[in-house]
Amino acid sequence: MNIATVAERSGLPAKTIRYYEDIGLIRPARRDNGYRDFAEADLHKLAFLGRARSLGFSIEECRMLLALWEDRSRASADVKALAQKHLDAIDAKIVELQGMRDTLASLVHHCAGDHRPDCPILSDLAGEG
Amino acid sequence: MNIATVAERSGLPAKTIRYYEDIGLIRPARRDNGYRDFAEADLHKLAFLGRARSLGFSIEECRMLLALWEDRSRASADVKALAQKHLDAIDAKIVELQGMRDTLASLVHHCAGDHRPDCPILSDLAGEG
DNA sequence: CTTGACCTTCCAGTTACTGGAGACCCTATC
DNA sequence: GATAGGGTCTCCAGTAACTGGAAGGTCAAG
């Protein structure tokens, strides 16, 4: 399979696939002409990576997940621990964003948004009041 | 004021303050010895930036907010529009993260997390089922 | 005069790609 | 055989917003 085919089937851009090879996540075979020659197994790995990335796992976490996936003797506890840690990070991020949103929403709500210069948003950022 | 004082009073690391000067957000005076000499106005700007950044505004948005703040004749509508746009972006991000969290939480919930290799998290990432 | 804390600049690294340049390869058509 | 068009290759640079560290100048105290 050429890279364009794999890109389409995995949903990842060709650029990203080359990048993933660069950082050692995949090792597609090569043809005599230098073109990458992807096997079904490579495609599966890429799809796996795409899904893990879409769940917000970092590349390094994906590397670990991939290793666990390929390790027939892994303990599911290891996977769960990794996922739970990531879940906690996501929750923390959500809380952080909600804090921002609440503050910002309140500021936006109190801003007249007209032609006059008075603006509670700027006043707040300036530390007034 | 030396940079360490401003760093402490603004809550921003000295490194960050130098960076902000680098990208033109502030222009502190210089002493003969080359040291930066911050005025109260610089400190206020930095505190403003710190608050705007903590609300998740990007550096370029901060640059615009700063310009609006310093423009006595600005219309509050301009500020509100900027803030509203950012608020929408935050909301979108929250929704995205909540989607991730829900999926991930469900996977984690169904994973035994024991010594056995069977793991629904990996199965899902692998596209099985 | 030396020590130690500050200050300076500049360079490199971080995350996960993305865009683009220049060049090679393959297939089809004329 | 020449050419046109895609597809592919590698490599370099840039993104956001810092952060760490090296090498070296400055300042106040003892």
Residue B21: the pLDDT is 97
Tokens of B24: 């033109």
Whether B125 and A52 lie within 8 Å, measured CB to CB: yes
Per-residue pLDDT reduced to its tens digit, A90-123:
999 999 999 999 999 999 999 999 999 999 999 9
How far, in Å, CA of A116 to CA of A52, rounded?
49
Give SS3 for B9.
Answer: helix
In chain B, the percentage of residues whose pLDDT exceeds 90 is 98
Per-residue pLDDT reduced to its tens digit, A36-90:
999 999 999 999 999 999 999 999 999 999 999 999 899 999 999 999 999 999 9
State whether the beta carbon of B45 lies below 7 angstroms from any atom of strand C. Answer: no
Protein residue closest to C26, using CA and C1': A33
- Residue at B43: amino acid letter: L
How far, in Å, CA of B59 to CA of B2, rounded?
24
Per-residue pLDDT reduced to its tens digit, B55-88:
999 999 999 999 999 998 999 999 999 999 999 9
Show the domains of chain B with their CATH numbers. 1-74 (1.10.1660.10), 80-129 (no CATH)
Contact A55, A87 (CB under 8 A): no
Contact B116, A75 (CB under 8 A): yes
The model's confidence at residue B120, banded by pLDDT at 50, 70 and 90, is: very high
Is a pLDDT exceeding 80 seen at residue B54?
yes
DSSP letter at B119?
Answer: -
> Measured between beta carbons, which residues in chain A are less than 8 angstroms from residue B48?
125-127
SS (H, E, C) chain A: CCHHHHHHHHCCCHHHHHHHHHCCCCCCEECCCCCEECCHHHHHHHHHHHHHHHCCCCHHHHHHHHHHHHCCCCCHHHHHHHHHHHHHHHHHHHHHHHHHHHHHHHHHHHCCCCCCCCCHHHHHHCCCC
> Measured between beta carbons, which residues in chain B are less than 8 angstroms from residue A90?
97, 100-101, 104
Residue B45: the pLDDT is 97
Is a pLDDT exceeding 80 seen at residue B50?
yes
Residue A52: the pLDDT is 97
How far, in Å, CA of B47 to CA of A116, rounded?
24
State whether the beta carbon of B19 lies below 7 angstroms from any atom of strand D. Answer: yes
Residue A129: the pLDDT is 77
- Residue at A103: amino acid letter: T
> Of A28, A103, A1, A121, which Cα lies nearest the Cα of B90?
A103
The model's confidence at residue B129, banded by pLDDT at 50, 70 and 90, is: confident
**Measured in whole angstroms, how far is the alpha carbon of residue B79 from the centre of its chain?**
18
Contact A90, B69 (CB under 8 A): no
Residue A55: other Cβ atoms inside 10 A: 23
The model's confidence at residue B116, banded by pLDDT at 50, 70 and 90, is: very high
Residue A26: the pLDDT is 97
Question: How many Å apart are B127 CA and D21 C1'?
Answer: 44
Q: How far from each other are the two terminal CA atoms of chain B, in whole angstroms? A: 64
